[in-house]
Chain A
Amino acid sequence: MEREVIEEALYEVIDPELAINIVDLGLVYDIQIAESNEVFIKMTLTTPGCPMHDSILNGVKNRLLQIDEIEVVTVELVWEPVWNPSQMSLAAKKQLFG
């Protein structure tokens, strides 16, 4: 399984408050693919105690499980390193800064 396929799928997980996908927001820290078709995602959120906490995490699982080859998805939410705006893509910055 290609890492790009997973990344591409994660572009479709949108933060409903900011209306920007989690990859462009720089929330995804690491993607690991095990041989057993298990995918491990390490990610953060823009702020600890984000009300969309569970929704976004479930969104990641839901989207990746739609890919046929993936059988198990584990999402680890971390607060370190702390998310900062420099992690956003240019497209996300443009959308936020107007």
Chain B
Amino acid sequence: MSRIAARFAALKADGRGGLIPFLEAWDPDGATSMALLRGMPAAGADLIEIGMPFTDPMADGPIIQAAARRGLIAGVKVRFILDMVREFRKDDQATPIILMGYLNPILSYGPQKFCEDAGQAGVDGMIIVDLPTEEADLMLPHATANGIDFIRLVAPTTDDVRLPHVLNGSSGFVYYVSITGITGTRSASSADLAAAIPRIRKVTDLPIAIGFGVRTPAQAAEASKVADAAVVASALIETMAAHLDEDGKAKPGTVELVLAQVRALADGVRGR
């Protein structure tokens, strides 16, 4: 069983939904984001999403755009992100890692080589924002061959006719983009989520994670209850961004602050 499937099975046995915190690789530098990654499981992360910086993140709002820019200024490369995962796996064999990014850096690295290297580094899943089902054949065979789940985005605009087509060949879990919009802008209402998730459940047995607009422990608790997991990104990055010094370096205690926020979110999904 894959790490992702095993983790969702364990969550189900626990009778709760999961928390998926997000960090942007090398925001604001390699050491800080590595420390954050290492600290996340103990803070209550059930799965972890790592953002791969890109110069032109078209689905992201200002908060994640800025995080990507900090990562790029710090000198992040695709191979350094795989190094982070390899390093993380030395101590943690259980927590699933999902890479989320845009296609061009992966294309430049080479789709096959990327999937081989990512699989060996210990990556469990990937989400490529600008690779819709219509173009998925570019990556899917390589992902499958290397045991990496190809996680699909489903949006409110994905209608019932299109839904089975979008989920065809998807594995791991389904990422529900809960708003029509970019990251870090607004949140879906409870009514929207209550309507959307059963619609997806009709078409798939895969677990569903809700992302875009999940910010607070209460929202994370609700999303993880309606679905199977909640992704929190912009709210954590905001905390990081608020504690950078004039040179863009993290002030002492920043990692701990973000991890404390992860802990509060984790308490939320655990109903504490």
Query: Is the pairing of A and B real?
Result: no
Which residues of A pack against B, CB within 8 Å? none
Which residues of B pack against A, CB within 8 Å? none
